[in-house]
Amino acid sequence: MIPPALPHLEPDPLPLPDVGRPPRHRLCPEGTPPIGLEFLGVKATLGGYLLPCPCCVQGWALLVPTGEPYSYTVSLGHGCSRGCAGPDIAWWHAWRCMDLPPEPAVVPDEKGRRYAVAAVRNEMRQLLERRPADPARGLASVAFKAGQFMAATGFDQGTILADLLRVAAGLGTEPGTVRASLARALAAGQAKPRSAPA
């Protein structure tokens, strides 16, 4: 017997009633709308571009420009209109973009804390030694792993982000161009996903 299909969730009505052109400070430098498969379902409002929340599928998450040409990202600080946390939104957005994150690591004791610090440092050192063709992708992978270990290491996000930006500079990448993507990857690594949205 085939199990019944799960109900198809629809996003809530837009939290802003007026659909129109977003303000200039919420547009990328070129003024174009967000494009690409990672922004399916985006709506233009007077407050900015809103994306159906990747975490709950029913709320709306604000998109903000990254400062890079034609580039937008989900604003993790604003969460979603239904109250989803920024790390959960970042994790599900990465999952939907087929950037499948590994299982979160749990390292609660002092031995685990030392291991976590050594593991993150080792990942950074190996990245510097390998000098990958696409340093941004390698940095995002290390940032995601560092986010998984953040609770165990006792470091705050600013400390780890500063270390990652130093590694980016060592790889010849302008730190300002990867700052937003590294912050998203760190946040996604900290998420503790509950279950897959419909």
pLDDT at residue 68 in the model: 85
pLDDT at residue 60 in the model: 92
Residue 140 · residue 168 · CB < 8 Å? no
Percent of the chain with pLDDT over 70: 82
Q: What are the domain boundaries of the chain?
A: 24-83, 110-190
Residue 65, strand partner residues: 72
Each as own residue / partner, the long-range contacts of residues 123-128 (CB below 8 Å, 24 or more positions apart, any chain) are 124/163, 124/164, 124/167, 127/167, 127/171, 128/167, 128/170, 128/171
Q: What is the CA radius of gyration of the chain?
A: 18
Average pLDDT score over the chain? 81
pLDDT in tens, 144-170: 888 887 766 666 777 788 888 888 888
For 67, residues 6+ apart whose C-beta sits below 8 A from its C-beta are: 29, 176, 180
Check residue 76 and report its DSSP letter.
T
pLDDT in tens, 90-132: 888 888 888 766 655 554 567 777 777 788 888 888 888 888 8
What is the rounded distance in angstroms from the CA atom of residue 191 to the CA atom of residue 198? Answer: 18
Check residue 108 and report its DSSP letter.
-
| Residue 198 confidence class, pLDDT cut points 50, 70, 90 | very low
Mean pLDDT of 167-185: 85
Length of the chain: 198
